[in-house]
Each structure stands twice: as structure tokens, then as C-alpha cells.
Amino acid sequence: MSLLGADSRREIEIHRYPLLVYALVLLGSLVLQAWLPRVVGRYVWFDLPLVVIVYFALGRRNPMQGTLMGAAMGLFEDALSHNAIGINGIAKTTVGFLAGSVGIRIDVDNHTIRVLLNFALSLLSSAIYLFVTRFLLGLAVEWNGLTELLRAVGNGVIALVLFPLLDRLQIRD
């Protein structure tokens, strides 16, 4: 993982996208996340909104944008379930902030680094979800560690395919 110095940080490229791409990709991830489980059944080993949040937060290299994007997407996900609104919101807010913060410090154009980051942030998101539900709210929640691991792997695989495709939608000078 190549760390960047303070001088080179100013020179690094910030990925920019048309506003329509933001809107369609974010909305598309929410819609597909809600629709695909009907096709794959119980094997919902992916979290498309999380993958998209990580991608944009890393590319934009802006923790605040990552935080806001994560909060909005997490709240929408909560609203589609019957669970309390805010659990996914907190998890994805944190993930968006961390991805944006990491984007400032490392070279995020490297595919391997992005996929590994995606894997790690997926696990972190699951851990925050569990912490908030069980320890902060005191709600009974049954947990399957293997499922969370598989979900992180699934997110990594999706990132491997999706990130190069989304890179093509950048605005290039």
C-alpha cells in the first residue's frame, strides 16, 4: 500500500463524475439491492450500496462527502427494512468517512488496494451494525459470522468487476 506525502496529496487526481452518474449509480445500487434477493433467494452475500459508497468516497477523496453519502444511503436501506432507522445509517456513515479519509492518504487507483479496502470496510460495517443493535440498543439479534465473511468476500468480488466499469464514467480533463 503506497502512502502519499502531504505535497503529493495536492497533486493527486480527484475523480469527478457527471451528476447524473452519481444519481443513477446510487439509486441503481439501492434498487438492485432490493430486487436481486428475489432472484438469488436467501444468498444475499453482497451489499451494493456499500460498494458504491466506498468507490465514490475513495475516488472523491473527501471524507465529508463520503460521510453524507454513507448516511443517506444507510438511512434509505433502513427505511426499506422493518428495522429501526439509523442502524445501517450509522454503519455506512462511518464507512463513508473512513473511505474518504483513507482516499487522501493512499493510492486508490490500484485495484488490489480498492478491493482489499472494500473487504475490510464491509467487515467493519457488519461489526458496527452488530455493535449498535446489540450493545447500544439492546435488541436481540442473531448473528452468523460466516454470512458476514461471505458478504465481505462478495463485496470484494463485485468491486473487482464494478470499479473498472465506473472508472470509465469519470470526467477526464
Partner 1 sequence: MESFIIRYRNLVVLLALLMAQLVGLAVQVRRTASGSSALDDTDASGVRLIRLWANALISPPERLIHASKIGFAATWSNYIDLVHVRQQNKDLENTVDRLRLEEAALLEDARQGQRLQAILGFQEKYIYSTLAAQVYGSSGSDRSHDFFIDKGWRDGLKPDMAVITAEGIVGKVRDVFPHTAQVLAVNDTTSGAGVILEKTRIRGVLRGDASGQLEVVGVTADQRIQPGEHVLTAGGDLIFPRGLPVGAVKKVVRDPDRDGLVDIILTPAAPLNRLDEVLVITSTEPRFPPQDEKDLKASATEESAVPAAVKDQMKASEIMAEKLPGLIDPNLPPDQQPLNDNSNPNPAAQPPQPLHPDEFSPSANDDSNAGPGSDSTPKPKGSSAAPASPGGAATPAPKSNPQTAPRRNP
The residue ranges that bind partner 1 (CB under 8 A) are 27-28, 30-31, 33-38, 41-42, 44, 63-64, 67-68, 71, 75-77, 79-87, 89-90, 93-94, 97, 100-101, 129, 132, 136-144, 147
Neighbouring C-beta atoms of residue 4, cutoff 10 Å: 17
Q: What is the DSSP letter of 85?
A: T
As measured in angstroms, the least distance from the Cβ of 111 to partner 1 is 26
Number of H helices, E strands in the chain: 8, 0
Residue 117 phi/psi, 5-degree rounding, is -60, -40
Of the two residues 116 and 150, which places its CB atom closer to partner 1 in the complex?
A: 150
Pull the grid cell for residue 147: 454470512
Q: Are 95 and 121 in contact (CB under 8 A)?
A: yes
As measured in angstroms, the least distance from the Cβ of 7 to partner 1 is 20
As measured in angstroms, the least distance from the Cβ of 29 to partner 1 is 10
As measured in angstroms, the least distance from the Cβ of 63 to partner 1 is 4
